[in-house]
Each structure stands twice: as structure tokens, then as C-alpha cells.
Amino acid sequence: MNPDPSKRPAPPALTWHWRGLQDYLPTWEAMRALTETRTAATPDQLWGVEHPPVFTQGQAGRPEHLLAAHDVPVVQTDRGGQITYHGPGQAVIYLLLDIRRRHWMVRETVQRIEEAVIRTLARWEIDGQRLPGAPGIYLASGEKISALGLKVRNGCTYHGVAINVAMDLQPFEWINPCGFPGLRTLDMASLGVHADVEQVASAFAEEFSQIWQTQGGGPTIPL
């Protein structure tokens, strides 16, 4: 017998937190701590941040993809993927989600995050696209504008997605972004779009919230 839908507990809310400029290491440590201690009642969360300059290397990252650090810190982290760069002017959104209780598979979770990025860019008339076998969002001309990398532990995700808004792009030339030699990286400002980081991060939260609510999630509550 199927339970009466009216008697099912409401799913925990998805909370949105804009945290501003945050160092990478303590943010990563906070994500891991929340993931390790969360319970069935822990709300799913989106954290929006900017980071000071830092290169992060994924679990399978190959050292040859770092061409020259130029005094930018390099952090070996536990997300998927290769090397990427974070810096001021980039909207980073971390997704701390219990996908197991929502019956989402990892691949479809990635696809839904990418769809939220595509919808976000479309608000500024930017045509973001997927490339097969290359997580993240690209432009029709081939440049990357958004990088994505997740960690899944006990059915829960952390890490997330970065959208390049208006940043110094030179450090991307010091790496093979996401492990692809010669891959060019652009930001929204390069396309003539004027937006600030919090505005773009909040737009992503709204777009992901719409996907969340239509796929069995609860409401999004800004904090």
C-alpha cells in the first residue's frame, strides 16, 4: 500500500547562504565537517563564495597539468576532476546535498547542476553548452566558462560549480584547465556582460531551486 502523500514528512528545505570572500581551506574543511556529521534532518545547502587566488587539484589530478604556479597556492583536494583555478570575480557555489534520500544518481545530479548553470547564463543572453565527456559549461566557440567537480560521500555531495564572472583570467594560462591542454577560459565580462559575483551566484541558486522543487526537493530559503 502506498502511504498517503498528505502524511509524508515534508522534505528538508534547501537553504541558500551567501558567504562572501572566503579562504579555500577553511571552506573545504567546513564542507567536509557538515557532510560527516549530517543527519536525516540536516537541511540541504547551497553556499556561495568567492575565493582568493588558489589552484585546486582533484583526486585524479596529474601534476603535469600545473604548468607554473607563480606563487599561487596549490591545494590537493578530494573532489573529482583535474586542476582548476579560483579567484576573485568568480562565483563558486558549493552544493551540500543528500542525493540518496532524493534518489538522484550522481550523473543526473551533475546534469541538473549543469542545467542550472545554462539557465543562469541565459539570463544574461549567454549560450552555455555541454561538451560530451567534459563536465562544466562551454561556449559555442569552445571556451570554458564554468567548471564543475563534486565529491560524494555516503550519498551526500559537497564541492560544486564555479562560474567565471569578471576575473583575472591569466592564471588559467598557467594550467591545463580541467586537464585539457590549450583549453581557453573566458568569463562573462569578456562577453560584454556586466554583473557582480553575488548576483550571479544568487541567480544560480534560484535556477537550481526550480530544478530542485520539480525533482522532489523542498523550498529554497535564503539565509
221 is in an annotated binding site: no
Q: Does residue 161 have a known ligand-binding role?
A: yes
Distance CA 66, CA 84 (A): 9
Is 136 one of the annotated binding-site residues? no
In single-letter form, the type of residue at position 185 comes to T
Asked whether the beta carbons of 101 and 155 are under 8 A apart, the reply is yes
Is 83 within any annotated ligand binding site?
A: yes
Task: Answer yes or no: are the C-beta atoms of 167 and 144 closer than 8 Å.
Answer: no
Confirm whether residue 184 is marked as ligand binding.
no
Q: Do the Cβ atoms of 161 and 204 come closer than 8 Å?
A: yes
Dihedral angle of Cα 88, 28, 67, 53, to the nearest 10 degrees: 20
Residue 86 counted as an annotated binding residue: yes
Q: Which of 92, 99, 150, 178 is catalytic?
A: 178
* 156 catalytic residue (yes or no): no
- Are 183 and 145 in contact, with CB atoms under 8 Å apart? no
CA 50 to chain centre: 12
Who's near 50: CB < 8 A, 6+ residues apart?
Answer: 20, 21, 22, 88, 89, 90, 91, 92, 197
* H or E stretch covering 34: helix 24-37
Is 109 assigned to a binding site? no
| Residue 149, marked binder | yes
Is 80 marked as binding a ligand? Answer: yes
39 is in an annotated binding site: no
> Which residues are annotated binding-site positions for substrate?
79-86, 147-149, 160-162
> Which residues are annotated binding-site positions?
79-86, 147-149, 160-162
Active site residues: 178
